[in-house]
Amino acid sequence: MTLDISTLLVVTVYVEAMLGLLLLFAWAQNTTIHGVAWWGFGHLLRAASVSLFGMYGSAPDLMSIDLANALLFTSFAATWTGARLFDGRPAEPVYLVAGAVLWLLICRLPSLSDSVELRVLFTSGIVTAYTWLTAFEFWRGRGEPLVSRWPAIFLLFAHGALYLLRTPLIKILPWPREEGVAGSVWLTVLSFEALLLTISIAFVLLAMAKERIGLHHKTAAMIDPLTGLANRRSFFEEAALAGREGSALKPVTVLAMDLDHFKSINDRFGHALGDRVLGMFADVLRQCVRTSDLTGRLGGEEFVALLYDISPQRAVAVAERIRAAFAEVALDIDDHPVSATVSIGVVHSRGGTVDLAELVEQADAALYLAKEAGRNRVEVAALEAFVMPRESRARDAGHARMATASAPPTA
């Protein structure tokens, strides 16, 4: 099998150009993911670079070698920049052109200009550096649950390794000496493998961008946009999932929380400040509970938290900490005497099969008593109330025994 250099160059130009246009078209469908546009431009730059390489012998070396390599390095730098932007890191304009500038300067040195092998190794090193930097950027963002991130990392690492090892492999592997390197079956394999890797990487990057969009849509449907907490649907779904995974076998506590006189805050200070109050409470709630606990906004000024594997005393302490911390931070907002407070109802289950709806109902009953007792307080539903049948609780909710752990009631 012989290598037709001209055919390979033409195929590479068409493939790179088509991949670039495909990625740009995908970016045009959703311009919020800027990394896709950079990846598209990277492929177009590589198409231009390969076109200039194809002009070797019929065009000056300044164009067919120097400019072609500069465009090649910039194309891989653009791919790396796209990876940085994809994961929310800023572009680095200096490093974007560093490879091209370094090439144009160093290739003028006599030690490189007189040795084709050294120049090839140098160019391969630059390409490998940018490719591995791209793989590293994706690895840094591995906390995001994108399945396609991992094949992208693997393919980019393999692509960089192939560039770096191409020259040593060609020197080591045999080829027909009468035909030279161009007749080597190994060069054919390596060249087409590089082209296939390029195609694979482009489609994996496109899949990763689509996966990101799908994840954002799913998150938007499950997260309250104002507070960043789980919405009602998400809270109950996550709680049900945790129950199926065995968390419900441990002691759990539900905190039902409602901001006091929130309507009057909106009426007095405006809805913009009211939204800030909601956001501030969400921040306090996140700071006071553990990352393993579930929190959510059920609607309006109503919030809920599900605390796992916690004693009743510690759960009440957490509720008190939430109440006191919120009263402190919401006392004065932008020189407005808001003095926002929260009432909290607490119910505890020792474990076993838990009906979350019943727990929330019990916590709501305790919250109602906290409101009746003067607000800005924590009320704890008696354990006997939890084990009562639903009908009895509904009939006797107003008379259920409550234990109070709170600050003095305020008007």
Residue 82 token pair: 């796209």
DSSP annotation of 122 reads H
Say which residues have a Cβ less than 8 Å from residue 165's Cβ, sequence separation at least 6. Answer: none
Three-state DSSP class for residue 348: strand
Contact present, 184 and 5 (Cβ < 8 Å): no
Contact present, 148 and 201 (Cβ < 8 Å): no
Residue 398 CB burial class (10 angstroms; 0-12, 13-18, ≥19): exposed
Could you tell me whether strands 342-349 and 302-308 are parallel, antiparallel, or unpaired per DSSP bridges? unpaired
Separation of alpha carbons 133 and 5, rounded Å: 30
Whether 358 is a known active-site residue: answer no
Separation of alpha carbons 64 and 164, rounded Å: 22
Which listed residue (144, 179, 245, 301) is catalytic? 301
Q: Tell me how crowded residue 39 is: count the other CB atoms within 10 A of its CB.
A: 33
Q: How wide is the angle at C-alpha 344 spanned by C-alphas 343 and 346, nearest 5°?
A: 160
Separation of alpha carbons 411 and 142, rounded Å: 50
Short-list 317, 315, 337, CA closest to 327:
337
Say which residues have a Cβ less than 8 Å from residue 50's Cβ, sequence separation at least 6. Answer: 9, 12, 13, 16, 68
Residues marked as catalytic: 301
